Amino acid sequence: MSMSVSEFAEVTGVSVRTLHYYDEIGLLKPAFVDDTTGYRYYDGSSILRMQEILFYRELDFPLKSIAEMLSFPHYDISQALKEQKHLLILKKERLERLIHAIDGALKGENVMAAFDNSEFETYQQEAKERWGQTEAYSQYEEKAKGASQAELSALGEGMNNIMAEFATCMSTGNASNSAEAQELVLSLQSYITEHYYDCTNQILAGLGQMYVCDERFKRSIDAHGDGTAEFISEAIKVHCSD
């Protein structure tokens, strides 16, 4: 299924001008562009990505933050939807408090507590930037600046390929401390340093723990084979303990 810009705009309720802007900043690229006419066309995957964008826009996330989140390695759509639902619930509860506060204000009551939005803001910040203000995240943000969506997707695919190699290494009977597994750890560390941020042993050790402790990462990595996340975590632990 392919749709022209105007058809896609009608389906999504987003203006053609906005779609052109999203294309320009790399937030939502067309599925393909006709080489002869230059016309943009969108498909089913474009609708899914637009859905993600609209959810985040509804939650007042800046476009830049949305682009960064959607390009994170191992971005988990199902987990993101759960977080978006929770944020929407918090937003709904706050609106209900404000509506109730208006009634109280009309009666002359002090309703300042109704303006407390700290829980929503804290959860929003956590969802937006898992490594928010760290030096590593700043490096990633700098390297990602100006990159197209296709380039960012290619980087994510490169990470997936390394995870798949770990799965193959494990399935062929290699131990986490084997030369083959340790070589892959070095490849992973080098890849992250080259494309994302300076992956020191300390950061790498933290990633190894996150791969098994964060269910989203574990599920994504284990899609290459059950136990892959644990295998990588153990291999990283061996590397960082040397």
Give me the pLDDT at residue 67, please: 77
**Tokens matching residue 79:** 């987990």
**Positions of the chain with pLDDT lower than 50, given as ranges:** 129-134
Give me the pLDDT at residue 130, please: 45
Phi-psi domain of 175 (left: phi exceeds 0; alpha: psi -120 through 50; beta: other): beta
- The tens digit of pLDDT for each residue in 50-81 reads 988 888 887 777 777 777 777 765 566 666 67
Backbone dihedral angles phi then psi of residue 78, each to the nearest 5 degrees: -65, -40
Instruction: Say if residues 3 and 12 touch (Cβ distance below 8 Å).
Output: no
Contacts of 21 (CB under 8 A, 6+ apart): none
DSSP-derived letter for residue 159 is H
Give me the pLDDT at residue 2, please: 86
- The tens digit of pLDDT for each residue in 208-236 reads 887 886 676 788 888 999 999 999 999 99
Amino acid at the residue 203: I
DSSP letters, 77-141, are HHHHHHHHHHHHHHHHHHHHHHHHHHHHHHTT---GGGG--HHHHHHHHHHH-TTTTSHHHHHHH
Residue 168 Cα distances to 24, 90, 231, angstroms: 39, 43, 11
CA distance 160 to 225: 12
Give me the pLDDT at residue 85, please: 78
Closest C-alpha to 207, from 219, 217, 220: 217
Closest C-alpha to 232, from 173, 139, 165, 172: 165
Closest C-alpha to 70, from 111, 28, 108, 110: 28
Give me the pLDDT at residue 131, please: 38
**Coil vs helix vs strand at 4:** strand
Give me the pLDDT at residue 219, please: 84
CA distance 94 to 100: 10
Instruction: Say if residues 45 and 31 touch (Cβ distance below 8 Å).
Output: yes
